[in-house]
Structure 1
Amino acid sequence: MAIMAWHEACQLDTSLRSLDHFFSLAPEYAQTLIGGLTNRCWKVKTQGGDCFVWRPSTHITKALSISRFHEQQILSLIQDTNIAPKPIYLNEHGLLVEWIEGESLADGLPFESILRTLVKIHNLDITKVPIAPFNFTARVDHYWMVLREDLQLDEYRDLYQQWRSVPSIDNVTHSLCHFDLAGYNMVKHPEGIKVIDWEYACISDPRLDLAMTIGVTGEKPLESVYRYCQLRNIENVDDWVTGVMAWKPRAEVLAMLWYLLAHQLKGHDKYLEEAQTLCYSLTSQSS
């Protein structure tokens, strides 16, 4: 992470200049944050010692169907729950949010803690969320359509076509879903665990969110679903197991296409390797 003077940071990322009218005095410094693909986010420290995170809007967020307005709407709705950063300022160039001070939980966080946090998110009241529910097919179709043919997509096409539709399973009540919940997006804070990076959050089937978290953590699906249902006092556990297992390959296809698009946008081989790993896994499961 690089710390630099405000004017230097503005030269490197011109979107920061859109904050000049928000701050009465130029911030003391800006610091690049280590994180995922989506963007270079910045920690901004003011002359008064307050800290924020600047989350820019760029061609990358557009390609990945990320809306900072959508993110701001969700953070505004849940700001009183103290589980997420508070949104501070939104403009066409990005979203400024509260900086969460604390220890990253990227390593060594028990899965029980992740599950409990997921349950807490899924139990939040969403009756006033002014956004449309997540459309799985539209999202995977978008990812597929913006991929270039020179990525040699033949080995991925069959999987995309096989799993692009939602599963035929019994409906459950939709919940607020984070869609990227793992230790790397959780912070140990004096008030309890806080969750960051809500850019993929949507209203959706919580079984898809659970399948995603099980996938990124590498936990055993059956044991994870049973424990989740126990924590939420859900009695029809078998239906939830069926639902999570039906969503599992679709979640993997969504991740596979995300990694392919990440490779296209950034050119990093590690993203292509992740896409290939998921492709091989899905192919072996289908055979």
Structure 2
Amino acid sequence: MPFRINSQLAQLIEQHYPAVKTAGFHLSPVAGLTGESWRVSMSSGEMLARFHSPDRQISGADRRREHSILRHIARHNLGPCVRLYSSPWLLVDWLDGAPLAEDAFAGAAQDVLTQSLVKLHHLPLTGYRLDLQQQFAHYWQHIDRRRLTPAWLRLHKKMMRCRPPAPLRLSLVHMDIHAGNVLETPHGLRLIDWEYAADGDIALELAAMVRSNGWNAVQQHALVQRYVDAGGYRDLVLLQQQVNRWLPWVDYLMLMWFEVRWQQTGELKYCEWAQPLRP
């Protein structure tokens, strides 16, 4: 499968960049041998090629949406620039830099990162509205039914029946901000992996950051305080309350995502990550 995808990508590059037939180019897999992301090295520069696989679609990624959103933010130095979109491939600029270390992400870099987050949240909406209950229903079709319990079934019905918190403010949200997705480049911090980005509540973004990074209540309060100080929202107390309202929704989103990935890959780490969230 990776070889076939590699061949498809090579043909696409030769079609859209005729000069490479003379100068040549090199493809190397990124983040393992899944065949979903490739580094493209050419004489004119480097790109990252992202494949829209069925597994990524099931887990909630959408390269068409990602392409549209990256074009939407192109002038604001928040992420990579799009070079080419031809389904099922999205090619973006390769960003020179390294992911933030965990201690930097949780410490000194947070002020700069929060400023970037506020900048993102002040951009116009994209028209791609995030619907968590629709995502829950989609994930429900792709979990291992043998892992279902009566308590989980009750929780699922509750999450599908309850109304999500009314947004404090709708904005473009990234929804996957952790140290590995924040690059320190010569031109400042850049966010990568925009495959889950959409329009959602600013407090949902903060709640997702808290849960995905395993931050405690003190760290959560510090994040919200920095966000307010950076001009992201004026009412600290109201924003903190809204983040707390979203936490159970983020917990269930993470549980469902881990369970889907377990079903897709069979990798035990997803079961281990899901276990603390299982009812």
TM class by shorter-chain length? 0.7 to 0.9
Contact 2:29–2:35 (8 Å) recurs in 1: no
- Structure 1 residue 84 displacement after superposition: 0.5
2:136 to 133, 140, 153: 140
Structure 2 equivalent of residue 238 of structure 1: 237
Contact 2:50–2:90 (8 Å) recurs in 1: yes
1:60 to 44, 55, 59: 55
Q: Give the whole-Å Cα distance in 2 for the aligned partners of 1:38 and 1:210.
A: 30
Letter in 1 for 2:238: D
Q: Give the whole-Å Cα distance in 1 for the aligned partners of 2:276 and 2:35.
A: 24
Q: Give the whole-Å Cα distance in 2 for the aligned partners of 1:115 and 1:262.
A: 32
- Structure 2, unmatched stretches of 5+, are none
| TM-score normalised according to structure 2 size | 0.86
Structure 2 equivalent of residue 77 of structure 1: 72
- 1:88-127 paired onto structure 2 within 5 Å: 88-111=83-106, 113-114=109-110, 116-124=112-120, 125-127=122-124
Q: Give the whole-Å Cα distance in 1 for the aligned partners of 2:144 and 2:125.
A: 39
**For 1:23-53, what per-residue CA distance to the aligned partner results, in whole angstroms no more than 9, with x for missing partners?**
3225532111117x9973111111x151111
**Secondary structure in 2 matching 1:123:** helix
**Secondary structure in 2 matching 1:181:** coil
Structure 1 equivalent of residue 25 of structure 2: 28
- Structure 1 residue 18 displacement after superposition: 3.2
CA shift in 2, pair 1:134/1:206, >3 Å: same
**Secondary structure in 2 matching 1:146:** coil
Structure 1 equivalent of residue 189 of structure 2: 193
Q: Give the whole-Å Cα distance in 1 for the aligned partners of 2:68 and 2:165.
A: 30
**For 1:214-265, what per-residue CA distance to the aligned partner results, in whole angstroms no more than 9, with x for missing partners?**
1122223233222322222633211111110010111011011000000111
Q: Give the whole-Å Cα distance in 2 for the aligned partners of 1:123 and 1:34.
A: 29
Structure 2 equivalent of residue 3 of structure 1: none
**For 1:168-191, what per-residue CA distance to the aligned partner results, in whole angstroms no more than 9, with x for missing partners?**
45x422111110011100111111
- Structure 1, unmatched stretches of 5+, are 1-7
* 2:216 equivalent to 1:216: no
- Structure 1 residue 91 displacement after superposition: 1.0
Q: Give the whole-Å Cα distance in 1 for the aligned partners of 2:29 and 2:92.
A: 15
Q: Identify which range, 145-154 or 135-144, moves more after superposition.
A: 145-154
Letter in 2 for 1:123: K
Contact 1:176–1:204 (8 Å) recurs in 2: yes
CA shift in 2, pair 1:186/1:270, >3 Å: same
- Structure 1 residue 198 displacement after superposition: 0.4
Letter in 1 for 2:27: A
Deviating runs (4+, > 4 A) in structure 1? none
Contact 2:168–2:242 (8 Å) recurs in 1: no
| TM-score normalised according to structure 1 size | 0.84
- Structure 1 residue 67 displacement after superposition: 1.4
Q: Give the whole-Å Cα distance in 2 for the aligned partners of 1:23 and 1:14.
A: 15
Q: How many residues align?
A: 269
Contact 2:125–2:172 (8 Å) recurs in 1: no
Q: Give the whole-Å Cα distance in 1 for the aligned partners of 2:129 and 2:115.
A: 19
1:42 to 38, 49, 67: 38
Structure 1 equivalent of residue 251 of structure 2: 252
Q: Give the whole-Å Cα distance in 2 for the aligned partners of 1:142 and 1:132.
A: 17
CA shift in 2, pair 1:176/1:68, >3 Å: same
